[in-house]
Every structure is written in structure tokens, then in C-alpha cells.
Chains A and B, each alone.
Chain A
């Protein structure tokens, strides 16, 4: 994954994904312009209520379109989507802004020291850089509620761990390559763990269960242990409600 600064204005490619889906590919990299084009087409396709369209999966750089071939055909879906392609990039709609209280380092972020060493920075500087940037949700994926956030400051870029962990606790705030994420549940994982937030990204008892959506913005705020514990206690007692600090333009 490499970041490019500008994606040329070319038509996306329509790729086969079997007989019930197709992929509209805008690029092959993690790039804010490419991602915005994916979202733009996804929003337009959702609004257009294309007959036979079953589901849309927007990703970093492509839109997977599931359709029912008994109702429509690949050709008809492709024609509808081509009709929705805009020749201009829309103004990026400001998504909701979330601020996640995060306890960096110690057993909550067991890789902080290692990341500092490998990036030739102090642990304090790693936290400052990670918490000092507003990220965008490029994609939801991997497991329920998990969001891929980017793009992290260049100084923090590292490949994934060579030995993935078997068990990463829910709420772990981590980085790999040019991205950061919060593990929405306990899971195996190969990213570097910088800290932990008590915010629950996925809770079936909450409405809606999934907190973040593609296009949202996220920032991490470094908090002390007692502030972390207060929120963790509230979450543990069953109150997993959490609200954005800015409702964005979609509200």
C-alpha cells in the first residue's frame, strides 16, 4: 500500500466478480481522492435504487456491487452505474467527527516502545503524532464494526508485525503501513498496538450496533489512566452509548 497524492481523472474499470457481483475499480492504492470517488458512486447508486441491486461494499479503492441476476444483468447494472459516474469530484462531505479517549503505552499499548525504537522517535512523539492527526474512515471490513482509518503521519509507517498476535484485546488502537484502526472485538492481529480505548465499536445491544461509517472522521485523544477507567467502568456496566463531537454534514 502506497499513498499517491493525486489520482488521475480516468474512468473506473468494471471488473468481473462472478455472476452475481461486479467491481468498479477506481484505483489500486490507498488514496483519499480515489476513496472519495468510490464513496461518491456508492452514495449515488444507493440513492438511485437500481433494480436488482442487492448490496454495495465500498472499499479503499473499489465498489463491490452485488446484484440479483434473475432480476437484472451485469450489462444493465454496469450501464446504470456508468450513468451515475460524475465527471467532477464532488466536494468531500464532512462526515461525523469522533474523538476516542485513548490510554497509550504500558500494557494497554505494548508496542509503543518498539514502534518508537523502530521509527527513531520518542514514545511521547509517537503519541503526539498519532493523536495529532484527524483520520478518515476509508473502509469498514474484516470483522463487525472494524474501521480502517488513514492516513497516519509518514514518520509512523511500519510494515505489519512479522509475528501476528493470537489475541488482541477489543479496543486496541493500532497502526500498520499507512493506516490505523481500533479492534472492534478480541481477535488475532498483526498490527502494532499503541494504546487502548474503552469505546465499543460494535455492540449488538446498542442501536445502531456499529458505531462508525465509511466517510466518518476520527481523532484519538491521549488520556490518563483514571479518565480511561471512568469510561471503561461505564462501558462495563452496559452503557456503551457514545456520540460524535461533530455531527458532520450528513446530519
Chain B
């Protein structure tokens, strides 16, 4: 849901941008290392993680050894964090993707969500320990989300469009990777109604069913749907929107498709210029003995 944090997690782990990683929501996760050595990373706004009870810098990678316990929790003002693993998590590609689609059970570990006791297959290798130089891009005006006109804007009166742009909407707890429900001022349809003959749904589409409360369609959305879509969230703001937790509010601001493309270009520029610095070396005999010195040496 937050491809920016995902990409940063993969970069920190020394993996390619498309490498499979873990998306962690809810209260977080505890992982036990069942490999001789592995470099893992964690990224996400305000995330917290500990290795064997010792707090680690956010947005960083660490090389850890068999038996270590890693606890990770998404930030209180956020929803997701991402755990990268050097060389990626070893899952088969389905339809050209290593993602897991919850509803259809396609992809991931044998088509099932992760459960307590599962073993996550990784290539046990180490890579330099890194930290993000500076903070994540997520916090800049994170309650203002830019939107572009949607394909069924004609199903709404100018007053409804005005309402969407001038009143706050609260993120509902009844939200998931398929749809994020919003609560706020009712968006009234014109006499064209709220049933359309199904058409395609772009990521971030804001559809409005009969009750007038908008739903933003996320990464696991259906490909087609029959409710009118008043607007679509700018792609460059989708990752920040996805990180807004239940109870938080957002305000929408209208931009053009061209302005959206410019914003996306700036975001990609930020990702291209990301500076990762070497983590401070913390070497002691216990760690040295635990590291694999034969394959590639110690990286610090």
C-alpha cells in the first residue's frame, strides 16, 4: 500500500526495487531468525523495532544471526511498515508478481496470509548495514491529499465536488488493502444515480455508493466496479494516504493530471536521490563469530 517505504526497505537491505518484502500492519510482528546470518531492514513512518530487546534506528538495516528475535511495530500515526530481506523473500512469481492478493489467495506463501509459526523462506546472506540519511518524505502536509477528476464526475453536482474539497474526511476502521472507507459529509449524486454499468477502476479511485460516503480503492481493489467515481487520488500522494490511520482525517485538494504527473516526477526524483549512509560499526567478538566471514567478509 506504501510503495515508497517498500522501496526504501529494499534499498536498505541491498535488494532490488522489485524484491519481495513483508508488509506489516496492525499491532506489528515478532520474527525469530532461523538462518545462520541475514541482513534485514525495516522502513515506515515512525516505525519502531528492536533486536533482542535493543532499540534500533528506524529506516535502517541490520545483519543478525540465528536465534535473534526481532520485534517490529508500525508507527502510531501510520498503518504499515515494510521489512526488507537481502536478496528478497523467496516466493514464486504469479502473474509476474510476488505480491499476495488476500481475497483470491493468489501469490505469497502458498496463497495464505502469514500466520504464527510460518517459516519465511530467505537466502541467508549478509549485506552492508545502512541507515536512511534524513527523514521519510511521508510527513510533508500528510493530511492534504491531492485528487484529480474521476470518470463519473458528471454523476455529482458542483456542490458535491465542493463538499469533497472543502470538508474533512475521517479514515474508517473498516478499511483494508481493497478499500479505505471515509466518513464525512455526504456526497449527493445527481439524478444520474449511483448505479453505473461497470467500468475499470484505477488505483486510488474515490467511488461513492448510495449512502454518499466515499470509498478509496487500494492495491487489492477489484478490476471493475459499478459505483460512480468522483475523483482519483494523485499517484504521488497514494502512499501517504495509505499510511493515514483509522480516525485520522484527510482533506482533498484538486489538481490536474499534468500537475499529478509533475508531483510523481518529483517523488521519483526524491527516491533516486535517497542517501543511505553506513550504519555506525558496532563490532564485538560475539558478532564477529556470528557473521559469515567466508562468503563475503564483514561489511562494515
Tell me whether A25 and B151 are in contact (CB under 8 A). yes
A30 surroundings in chain B (CB, below 8 A): 197
Q: How far, in whole Å, are A117 and B111 apart by their CA atoms in the complex? A: 42
Residues of A within 8 A of B103 (CB): 143
Which residues of A does B touch, CB under 8 Å?
1, 15-21, 23, 25, 28-30, 57, 59-64, 66, 69-70, 73-74, 139-144, 148, 185, 204
CB-CB under 8 A from A144, the residues of chain B are 104, 106
CB distance from B239 to the nearest CB of A (A): 14
Q: How far is the CA of A61 from the CA of B198 in the complex (A)?
A: 8
Q: Which of A16, A62, A148 has the most CB of B within 10 A?
A: A16
Q: A74-B258, A144-B104 are in contact. Are A23 and B148 (CB under 8 A)?
A: no
B residues 130-152 near A (Cβ < 8 Å) are 148-151
Contact indicator B235/A20 (Cβ below 8 Å): yes
Q: How far is the CA of A90 from the CA of B200 in the complex (A)?
A: 23
Cα–Cα distance between A204 and B97 once the two chains are bound (Å): 14
Nearest-Cβ distance from residue A75 to partner chain B, whole angstroms: 9
B201 neighbours in A (Cβ, 8 Å):
64
- Are A73 and B261 neighbours in the complex by a CB distance under 8 Å? yes
Among candidates B202, B204, B258, B259, residue contacting A64 with C-beta atoms closer than 8 Å: B202
Closest to B152 in A: A15
Chain A CB within 8 A of B13 CB: no
Q: Which residue of A lies closest to B268 (CB)?
A: A70
Q: How far is the CB of A85 from chain B (nearest CB, A)?
A: 18
B300 to chain A, nearest CB (A): 36
A18 near B260 with CB under 8 A, answer yes
Are B151 and A23 touching (Cβ within 8 A)? yes
The residue that B198 contacts in the complex, of A16, A19, A20, A141, with Cβ under 8 A, is A141
Q: Are B204 and A70 in contact (CB under 8 A)?
A: no
Decide: A18 and B199 in contact? CB cutoff 8 A: no
A16 with B148, Cβ < 8 A, contacts A61-B199, A139-B198 known: yes
The residue that A60 contacts in the complex, of B199, B204, B235, with Cβ under 8 A, is B199
Listed by A's residue number, 6 A-B pairs whose Cβ atoms lie within 8 Å are: A16-B149, A17-B200, A17-B202, A23-B151, A30-B197, A59-B224
Q: Is B264 an interface residue (CB 8 A)?
A: yes
Instruction: Name A18's contact: one of B104, B223, B234 (CB within 8 Å).
Output: B234
Task: Across the interface, name the chain A residue whose C-beta is closest to B231.
Answer: A18
In angstroms, how far is the closest chain B Cβ from the Cβ of A146?
A: 10
Residues of A with C-beta under 8 A to B233: 18
CB of B99 to closest CB in A, whole Å: 14
Asked if A28 contacts B223 (CB within 8 A), the reply is no
Interface residues on B, range: 35 or more
Judging by beta carbons under 8 Å apart, are A62 and B199 in contact?
yes
On chain A, the residues within 8 Å of B149 by CB distance are: 16
Say which residue of A60, A73, A142 sits within 8 Å of B197 (CB atoms): A60
Contacts of B260 in A (CB 8 A): 18-20, 69
Q: Which of B223, B232, B265 has the most CB of A within 10 A?
A: B223
Q: Is the CB of A59 within 8 A of B222?
A: no
Chain B residues contacting A15 (CB-CB under 8 Å) are: 151
Whether B203 is near chain A, meaning CB under 8 Å from some CB there, is yes
Given A17-B151, A19-B264, A74-B257, residue A141 in contact with residue B223 (CB < 8 A): yes
State the 6 A-B residue pairs at the shortest beta-carbon distance, nearest first: A64-B200, A19-B260, A18-B232, A141-B224, A57-B200, A69-B261
Residues of B within 8 A of A61 (CB): 197, 199
Given contacts A20-B202, A144-B104, contact A73 B258 (CB under 8 A): yes
Q: A143 touching B148 by the CB < 8 A rule?
A: no
Chain B residues near A1: list those with CB within 8 A: 197
Given A16-B257, A57-B224, A70-B261, A23:B104 Cβ within 8 A: no
Complex formed: what's the CA distance from A15 to B230 in Å? Answer: 12
B119 within 8 A of A: no
**A74–chain B nearest beta-carbon distance, Å:** 5
Please name all residues of chain A whose beta carbon is closer than 8 Å to the beta carbon of B258 when the two chains form the complex. Answer: 19, 73-74
| Contact between chains at B150 and A142 (CB < 8 Å) | no
Inter-chain pairs besides A1-B197, A61-B199, A73-B261, 13 sampled, C-beta below 8 Å:
A16-B151, A17-B151, A19-B148, A19-B261, A23-B200, A25-B199, A62-B199, A66-B202, A69-B235, A69-B261, A69-B265, A142-B223, A204-B94
Instruction: Please indicate which of the listed interface residues A1, A17, A73, A148 has the most CB atoms of chain B within 10 Å of its own CB.
Output: A17
Per the 8 Å Cβ criterion, residues 182-218 of B in contact with A are 196-205
Select one of B111, B199, B205, B236 contacting A59, CB under 8 A.
Answer: B199
Q: What distance in Å separates the Cβ of B191 from its nearest Cβ neighbour in chain A? A: 14
Once bound together, how far apart are the Cα atoms of A74 and B236, in whole Å? 16
Chain B residues closer than 8 Å to A143, beta-carbon distance: 103-104, 222
Interface residues of B in 74-112 (CB under 8 A from A): 94, 103-104, 106, 111
Query: Judging by beta carbons under 8 Å apart, are A141 and B148 in contact?
Result: no
A62 to B235, CA, bound (A): 22
In whole Å, how far is B127's beta carbon from the nearest beta carbon of chain A?
28
Report chain A residues within 8 Å CB of B234: 18-19
